[in-house]
Chains A and B, each alone.
Chain A
């Protein structure tokens, strides 16, 4: 029975693909095919159709290898999961109609064919969802790592002066990392003055302020001085409104001004040479 079905699909492949493409182009909000050059749409459609048909089991035994192959290839098309789901639906509906039209499916065996179709489509859908969620998890993890790498290195700029540029949102995890890197770096680099640059921090709320105050206290405990630099005017205003006390800090609006003060603190100055 399945053999007959596969044979019919293969013989009418062009017609199926044409109908399927027309349906996919009409999907609202999912315009993957609109931005693709026509020959690429053609190529991808054929590839997809082939992947779909090779997964019709000849004797209802599902081939795990072919399934994985299907999922990993379809993920690489770069479609949204909604679009993929629709693509599978449409493909299965079109083939069902075709098989009815060719009288391979008729009212005596329609129940049987429903089973065959379920056996064909469900595993495809399941592996696709699985593949997408694995892919998303991987992406999220990589981004987490990327964020961690980007966050909080203490950079020795001059002898005795180090800078930590903070970029992005500070959550509890990053705050911990900032503290660790700061203390370790101060000792290793023998920094006497540390400049914490918050130019790249979008929001300074009481939690961020609290972490900064704690970091500065810790730096003080190991015998160095912590300056807070890069305070944008709007951030200065919100800090004041929040009633956060930064009296114990040297604060400057820019890193440049902070650096000048840090040099003065360590009895140095920048001179122009002729």
Chain B
């Protein structure tokens, strides 16, 4: 058990960071190079002011008509993304690891808060799953990989919740928790999860085109 633990917190963790960072840099730079070669217009029309204007509207809850038409989705997705992002970075158990391994540390979330945030992520994933299964327009678009990715994202939070609450077999679950977190990070560059890096560019481009050429809002 301990061997497994040290493998997944040691060499495998390094591999994870290499794959996540290296993969993201590779994917990003290959897209960038391709864009420079083939999508000259994107650079031509990209405009910082209009790009930021559009991104800002889409990062504010209910900042677009689309969000107003889908209020439940808007509330859930904002809570989901915030908790998804904040919890793993500021949960006490993780900060301790940084402290122990690299002697750096930062602000931590009170355990009860982190617990609620974890629960929000899990509940949101159930909501997304429910949408995928029941809403015809989402169901039609859904591919098997969408379920797999949703599971990959939910798994670290489910297992983290499990470990924190000391449910049965939590020692073993700790290892699953570590593995699932690592799998999620490694999946980012190679799946639609890469949207976290592409969002500013896709939104920014359409915002620039709407702002600078079409002279219309895009939210």
Task: Tell me if chain B binds chain A.
Answer: no
